[in-house]
Structure 1
Amino acid sequence: MVDVVVNHVGYAGAPETVDYSGLAKPFDGAHWFHPYCPIRNYDNQTEVEQCWLGDHHVSLPDINTRLPAVQSFFRHWISDLVANYSIDGLRIDTVKHVQKGFWKGFNDAAGVYCLGEALHGDQTLGSPKAPLLFPHELMRQYRYYALLRAFTPPDGDMGELVRMMWEVQARCRDTSLLGTFSENHDQPRFPHFTSDMALQLRLTPYTLVYQGQEQHFRGSSDPSNREPLWPTEYRTTTPLYQHISILNRLRRHAILSQPSPGIHARTRSIMLYADRTTLVVRKADLVAVYSNRGEGSGRRFVSRIAGVAAPGSTLVDVLRCGVEIVDAGGAFSLVVDSGLPKVSQKLQPPGFRVLTPTLRHAQAFYPAFRLQGSGICGY
């Protein structure tokens, strides 16, 4: 998935000093850009679309995307980019700074999943009750803020996340198109707010992963959150890398193991249980447990979570390779001890292995019969 920008170019200098002749063709003349003006009122959409971002150290000359020649250039450019590099999807920068009429032709030319970024906390953006801002979906910042408030100590409250989930399901045309993140290159990384590894591990299954997150980067605001990845030597032994790798394997298997391909990805999540510290969600056959209880948080018992699976089913916690037998009422119970989830291990088929203790900070349950042939937990 590639990040692309059509709203502006970059210039190392103040807006008044831009040398357009030094910019890449075809944008090597002032006539391709809006005249300089700073954005002072972000509630004025005309100003947002036609004035410039950036500052006096690095200015961002604003391309006039209303020009037919500009629109034609970008359609050809994005079509070639996607084809030449076999791109699966696009993360499109600053979509609300470009007029809405531009995006349909651009998305049609791209021909892949497009996710638009809008630095905005308003959940109505892109909803059925508001004008369509972007054809596919926004990378909605309000979901980021809800996640951050839910998982950041000392006042983390899952109620914020629950309310956000209800709003998303009530307002969104297609929740399978959503891009949910806890880190990106515009925000401080999650470990900047807390060093608690348990919370990082618990949060990760909910989100898309930004490069470097698997290495536990801790940078603050831009540019500190854009650390280069290569000095890490791309370590694959870190707790987060192992954690994310297993989750990715499970997600891929969940998509491929269903009788109808893609049903897992298209299925909406159902909340089974929620309180201030714990959220249990079922998506098709997958049951995920989220908690904002960090290390050293003491013992916590969550009693009889109903609706997890058919009575008598065997569920495997793929992050610990523990096994839970669903009771006659279709429910099971959870125990969290010092921030570590505890599940029963009543059965241990051949090949079972208990993963490293660091992976016990999160739980993801999947039916044992659907794990066959996955290579996960010996199945």
Structure 2
Amino acid sequence: MSLSVSRALALATCFAASSLAASVVEWQERSIYQVLTDRFALEGGGTARCVTDDRKYCGGTYRGIIDKLDYIQNLGFDAIWISPIVANVGGFTTYGEAYHGYWAQDIYKLNSHFGSADDLVALSNALHARDMYLMVDVVVNHFGPANSSASFESFNPFNKPSYFHPRCLITNYNNQTDVEQCWLGDDKVALADVNTENLWIVTTLNRWIASLVKDYRIDGIRIDTVKHVRKDFWPLFAAASGIYTVGEVFHSNTAYVADYTYVLDGVLDYPTWYQLFPAFQTSTGNLSALAEVILKAQRSYKTGLFGSGVFSENHDQPRFASLTTDTARIKNVIAFPFIHDGIPILYYGQEQGYTGGNDPANREALWLSGYVEEKEFVDHVKTLNAARKAAIATCAEYLVTPMEFPEVTATTLAVYKHPLLALFTNVGSHGTTSWDVQGTDYAPGTELLEVFSCSKVYVDSTGGLTALSTSGQPQLYIPASAPFEHCKNR
């Protein structure tokens, strides 16, 4: 059964929560630091054993995050994305415990491993006191593993098999009906797929998200497994939340992902990610394919790439540093989201040089790093955030200016997004390359600052720029008149 459009819209409006309700435009000004709550910080500091292969809770909490907000803010981030907050199934499965938060059992209770309701409110308040935003991960598509009638009885509020689609594992990802109505997982751990065609379930979920946002003063939600739920479910759910919504559509095809930009504020830009790693992993990577997929998304996404989230690592994919040890290539990959049209997202630990491979190896405890800030990648991230903020302050149109590619060769890529010019290369730390960039709108003679080296150059009489790299490092230029203070502090 489905809601009539008029009635559903009315209900969504009634459910919409009162919160800070930052707009999409306000979120565009931000950069996001993603944490796995269980793996980011222990309350009161200190360290504890955390072996990723064990797939067990390691002890990270909301209070632990509060203790380390200085660290996140010093990196230049003004928003964080935390793990799903609802109570998850207990016990140990074939794939370990639900430390990640994606196996819901009771959506009306919190995951006690992460802290209490008061602790979560305290985190929200602490962020807002710093003018930072809180993004919470939300799962609608499924609950936890259901291998018996007792499993369904333990779920709340959907405590009957009839509240879920009949069990069938997804075997054909080209069949959208299977994708939306069959279950994720395998014969060992199958995740109960919520029947989002049911009127009562739709109403319940819309009421639930409105209350969640209001109770914990959430500013944005990242929605898991979006492609596994019918598209016409999402506009009403988003309206009920009353805040910024960005959805995970795990797919490489731009046209497929683009459809979801018409039902949510934005998507995680997986098509770009699919080209990003191979482009920079070796010197034979296809940089033109990376530019092409971005141009295609700019044309096909509802509002271009503006409002979408762009990333190079996350909890579901191997870290780039597990695929190469070349620091120059790693720096190029880290830098790319910060010159992109979308909202940059950094996965915790990337700044510390973490090298975890596929899940669960990519879910390391950050306290084992000591949160050291005198590190090469940490400074790299600080510089990128500072340069992006300076660009926003310099040009009122920066956030709605689409990135352009004035140079694409076998080993180099120039990205221009006024007032920033970024030069990327995949030649690696021992490679030499050069750029000859034309087609910017810099005035001849403009003094530019290269933000990583703090060196200055001048735009030539045609508005162009030539640059040389002997170590494969990315270069990022901004007018020297911009309010970029990072070089002064070195």
TM-score in same-fold range (> 0.5): yes
**2:182 aligned residue:** 51
- Structure 1: state its 5+ residue gaps: 340-360
1:276 and 2:413 are equivalent in the alignment: no
- Offset at residue 278 of structure 1 (A): 1.0
Mapping of residues 256-271 of structure 1, within 5 Å = 256-258=393-395, 260=396, 263-271=397-405
Q: Distance in 2 between matches of 1:292 and 1:376?
A: 26
1:327 and 2:460 are equivalent in the alignment: yes
1:65 and 2:196 are equivalent in the alignment: yes
CA distance 1:94–1:264, shift in 2 (3 Å): same
**1:115 aligned residue:** 246
Mapping of residues 1-379 of structure 1, within 5 Å = 1-11=135-145, 15-16=147-148, 19-23=151-155, 25-127=156-258, 134-174=263-303, 175-207=305-337, 208-258=345-395, 260=396, 263-297=397-431, 299-303=432-436, 305-307=438-440, 309-339=442-472, 361-371=473-483, 374-378=484-488
Mean Cα deviation higher: 285-294 or 244-253: 244-253
Q: What is the RMSD computed on CA atoms of the aligned residues?
A: 2.1
CA distance 1:362–1:302, shift in 2 (3 Å): closer
Q: Distance in 1 between matches of 2:214 and 2:404?
A: 37
Higher RCO, 1 or 2 (CA under 8 Å, sep at least 6)? 2
Please tell me the residue identity of whatever aligns with 1:362: P
Other structure's SS at 2:311 match: coil
- Offset at residue 214 of structure 1 (A): 1.3
Q: Distance in 2 between matches of 1:304 and 1:126?
A: 32
Q: Distance in 1 between matches of 2:437 and 2:195?
A: 58
Mean Cα deviation higher: 37-46 or 79-88: 79-88
TM-score scaled by length of structure 2: 0.67
- Note if contact 2:284-2:411 (Cα within 8 Å) is conserved in structure 1: no
Please tell me the residue identity of whatever aligns with 2:159: D
Q: Distance in 2 between matches of 1:18 and 1:238?
A: 50
Mean Cα deviation higher: 139-148 or 280-289: 139-148
- Note if contact 1:316-1:323 (Cα within 8 Å) is conserved in structure 2: yes
CA distance 1:249–1:131, shift in 2 (3 Å): closer
**2:71 aligned residue:** none
Q: Distance in 1 between matches of 2:260 and 2:415?
A: 31
Q: Distance in 1 between matches of 2:150 and 2:188?
A: 11
Q: Distance in 2 between matches of 1:45 and 1:74?
A: 22
- Note if contact 1:282-1:308 (Cα within 8 Å) is conserved in structure 2: no
- Structure 2: state its 5+ residue gaps: 1-134, 338-344
Q: Per-residue displacement from partner, 1:3-22 (whole Å, max 9, x unpaired)?
A: 211100112xx635762222
TM-score scaled by length of structure 1: 0.85
Structure 1 stretches of 4+ with a deviation exceeding 6 A read: none
CA distance 1:135–1:85, shift in 2 (3 Å): same
CA distance 1:112–1:300, shift in 2 (3 Å): same
Please tell me the residue identity of whatever aligns with 2:139: V
Q: Distance in 1 between matches of 2:283 and 2:435?
A: 21
- Note if contact 1:126-1:133 (Cα within 8 Å) is conserved in structure 2: no
- Identity over aligned residues, as a percent? 37
CA distance 1:303–1:121, shift in 2 (3 Å): closer
Q: Distance in 2 between matches of 1:279 and 1:18?
A: 56
CA distance 1:255–1:230, shift in 2 (3 Å): same
- Note if contact 2:328-2:471 (Cα within 8 Å) is conserved in structure 1: no
- Note if contact 1:288-1:365 (Cα within 8 Å) is conserved in structure 2: yes
Other structure's SS at 1:302 match: strand
- Offset at residue 286 of structure 1 (A): 0.9
Q: Distance in 2 between matches of 1:94 and 1:64?
A: 14
- Offset at residue 146 of structure 1 (A): 0.8
- Note if contact 2:451-2:475 (Cα within 8 Å) is conserved in structure 1: yes
- Note if contact 2:249-2:257 (Cα within 8 Å) is conserved in structure 1: no
Other structure's SS at 1:61 match: strand
- Note if contact 2:392-2:398 (Cα within 8 Å) is conserved in structure 1: yes
Other structure's SS at 1:10 match: strand
- Note if contact 1:120-1:140 (Cα within 8 Å) is conserved in structure 2: no
- Note if contact 1:121-1:140 (Cα within 8 Å) is conserved in structure 2: no
Q: Per-residue displacement from partner, 1:198-248 (whole Å, max 9, x unpaired)?
A: 111111121221122112221111111222223223222221121111211
Q: Per-residue displacement from partner, 1:90-115 (whole Å, max 9, x unpaired)?
A: 22111111111210111112222222
**1:344 aligned residue:** none
Q: Per-residue displacement from partner, 1:276-306 (whole Å, max 9, x unpaired)?
A: 1111111121111111121112x32333544
Q: Distance in 1 between matches of 2:214 and 2:375?
A: 34
CA distance 1:144–1:68, shift in 2 (3 Å): same
- Offset at residue 140 of structure 1 (A): 3.6
- Note if contact 2:251-2:257 (Cα within 8 Å) is conserved in structure 1: no
